[in-house]
Each structure stands twice: as structure tokens, then as C-alpha cells.
Amino acid sequence: MKKQSFIFFIMVITMMSCDKCKETEPPLEGKDYSTGIWFINEGAFNGNNASIDVRMTNGEIIRDVFQAVNGFPLGDVLQRVVVQDGIGYAVMNNSNKVVVFNAKTFALIREIDGLDYPRDLVVVNGKIFIAQGAMQGKVAQYTSTGQWINEVEVGNGPERLLYAQNRIWVLNSGGWLTDNRVQTIDPSTMTVDHTWTIGDRPIDVEYEPTEGAVFVLSGGEIQYDANWNIIGHTSASLSKFVDFNMPISVNVGEVGEHPRSFAINSQNNTLLLANTHLDVFESNLGLVCADCILGDFYSVDADDNGQAYLSLIPDFTNASEIEQYRLSDYSFVREFEGGIGTNQVVLP
């Protein structure tokens, strides 16, 4: 009898404990996700498992928030996330669409579909401009409700867009072909008004408002023969544009290295280059230090408080890692677990 009473007591306590867990767990719909840090997870090609994880200010990490809120996944291959005026835009490369959602609640607003290999977007004066095309590229203009307005032809494989100095800057990375051109579009006329040739495969871009400078990272080309054997490489480079003058450029890393991500440390305007390890450059493109932080890094982002977030992707099957560092002394702060293929950290 005592044994039965003891078992009953344990069952009651367990049930009470579970109920307490349910009561104290905050409801999903009651959270403001725009106050957190977003881990942008590309997902596996054809896996339809792209996701956004959010680290809340209390340290809680909520996985795949869009799926949890809306009941269906974002789509296939999350290329880029842009947040502006309380709205999130998820560029879904292999799903050929842009998913528009409320940045606070993650509730779906609409989808802009029927796109052609979209890679990036910017929002200018309430209009949405989307870079598209794996070969010959274009930048198409849409209304805020996703209606097509106009488009302009650009180079091969437009990879990244930036709005600065009243122009849309286009990085033509080549896509399935090759390219090495940066162009600007006047959004009022939808015409290309500048074209520069820089290093092969321009792939990332940042604007530094103090100097009014646009910085571009070119990853360099991997050269193949007719049987797809690697026969050579061109150098990666950093280029600096001031106004619309010819840029200055420097090669970075070793030949055969092909970095794809950099960021600006707003504390001192240095450039943070994820070239496997983290390299740091001055705004005049002089090298501060090579291998400042050691690691096999895929991407780098920085906040306004002198913190860097570096992603590591073991493959496109297992979880990624995000490491946080203080840029004042390159010291390690903490590590987070990401999703499949974390390629960006967003601080909305």
C-alpha cells in the first residue's frame, strides 16, 4: 500500500511539473522577433528546409520561426534576408520567389513568385527591386504589393544589390557564366548609368557612410577545362568606390582562396573579411592583420556594438555553428547552434 501511494505521489508531482512548464512557457505568438538576432539558414538544395532561427534578448533560441508561426516552410534555398520598415523579405533562390513577412510577428504578408533565379533585393521609396538571372541578368522593379512595374538588363548573374548615393549598385558575379562588372541603376529612370570592371565574381558589398564609400569583395574565378578539371584561379580582391570615380583595388588572400563574405566594423570602419580565417583591413584597404581569428568561416556579420558573428558550415546536412567575438581584441564570447547552411546573421 505504501508503494502504491508513493507511485501515485510521484505521478501527481510529475503532472504538476509538466503543467507548470506549459504555463510558464511564453506563447509563440506573443513574441516580438524584431528584437532578437536572426540566424539565416540557407537549407539544402531541393530540401525545402530553409529557415530563420531567432535568438531572443533573454537568450532563448526559437527554431524555424516562420514555419512555427505560419504552418508551412519558407521554401528552398534562402539566399538573402532584408529587413526594412518592419517588413522582412526572404529571397528564395530555388523556389523562385520572395517571401514577405511581418518582422515582428513573422506572419506571412504575401509572396512575389514567378521570379527567375532571384539572389537579392533592395527597397527604395516603397518599390522593391529584385536581382534575377543565372546567366544574362536583370533587376526588376515591383510595387510594395508585389506587382511588376519595369525591369532593366544588367550583367551575368547579378548577385548582390545595395542602395547608396541615390543609386542601386549591382554586383554581377557571373552566375553560371562569368562576370567582373559593377553597375549602378538610377531607380527613377530604371537605366544603367555606370559600369566598372573590377576583380572576377564580385560577391559582397557594403556602404560606409562616414567616407561615403562603397566597398566590394570579388571572390575570384575558379578556372576549369572542358572536362571540368580545375586548371587555375584568379585572385580575390577588395575594391573601394568613392562617389562614382574609378575604384581602387587590392588583391586579398592567396591565389586559390575564394572568400564570399565581408562586413564593416562600425566602431573603427575596418573591413572584416571571412577568408576561411578572419582577415581585417583598414578603410584604405591596407591590411591590419591576417588570420586575426582562426576558423573555417563561411560568413561574417557585425553589429553596432563591436561584435562579430562568424558562421561555420560543416555541410548542408548537419547544423551550422555561429561564433560571436569582440572586435576590440578578437576575443571569443559565445557559440550558438544554427540551422542548415547558416549564411547570414541579421540584427533587425
CATH assignment of the domain containing 95: 2.130.10.10
Contacts 24+ apart (CB under 8 A), 4-7: none
Evaluate if residue 16 carries a pLDDT over 90.
no
Residue 3 lies in a domain: no
DSSP secondary structure code for residue 26 in this structure: P
Q: What value does the mean pLDDT take over residues 138-151?
A: 98
Write down the pLDDT at residue 29.
Answer: 66
Residue 5 lies in a domain: no
Evaluate if residue 316 carries a pLDDT over 80.
yes
Cβ 334 vs Cβ 325: under 8 Å: no
Evaluate if residue 321 carries a pLDDT over 80.
yes
Write down the pLDDT at residue 348.
Answer: 83
Cβ 172 vs Cβ 221: under 8 Å: no
Write down the pLDDT at residue 142.
Answer: 98
Q: What value does the mean pLDDT take over residues 32-42?
A: 97
Write down the pLDDT at residue 28.
Answer: 63
Query: How do 299-302 and 248-252 pair as beta strands?
Result: unpaired
Evaluate if residue 6 carries a pLDDT over 90.
no
**pLDDT band at residue 3 under the 50/70/90 scheme:** very low
Write down the pLDDT at residue 9.
Answer: 39
- The cell 516552410 sits on which residue? 73
295 or 29, higher pLDDT: 295
Q: What value does the mean pLDDT take over residues 214-227?
A: 97
Evaluate if residue 211 carries a pLDDT over 80.
yes
Cell numbers that stand for 147 in this block: 506587382
**pLDDT band at residue 30 under the 50/70/90 scheme:** confident
Residue 2 lies in a domain: no
Query: How many domains does the chain divide into?
Result: 1
Question: CA 170, 37, 207 angle in degrees (round to 5)?
Answer: 30
pLDDT tens digits for range 53-62: 999 999 999 9
Mean pLDDT of the chain: 92
Residue 190 lies in a domain: yes
Residue 155 lies in a domain: yes
Q: What value does the mean pLDDT take over residues 143-165?
A: 98
48 Rama class: left (phi>0) / alpha (psi -120 to 50) / beta: left
303 or 9, higher pLDDT: 303
Write down the pLDDT at residue 170.
Answer: 98
pLDDT tens digits for range 168-199: 999 999 999 999 999 999 999 999 999 999 99
Q: What value does the mean pLDDT take over residues 225-245?
A: 96
Q: What Å distances lie between residue 300 and 89, 261, 307, 309, CA to CA?
A: 20, 6, 10, 6
State percent of the chain over pLDDT 70.
Answer: 92
Could you list the residue range(s) of the whole structural domain that residue 241 is in?
A: 11-346
Write down the pLDDT at residue 26.
Answer: 44
Evaluate if residue 23 carries a pLDDT over 80.
no
State percent of the chain over pLDDT 90.
Answer: 91
DSSP for 270-291, written as a single string: EEEEEEEEEEEE-TTS-EEEEE
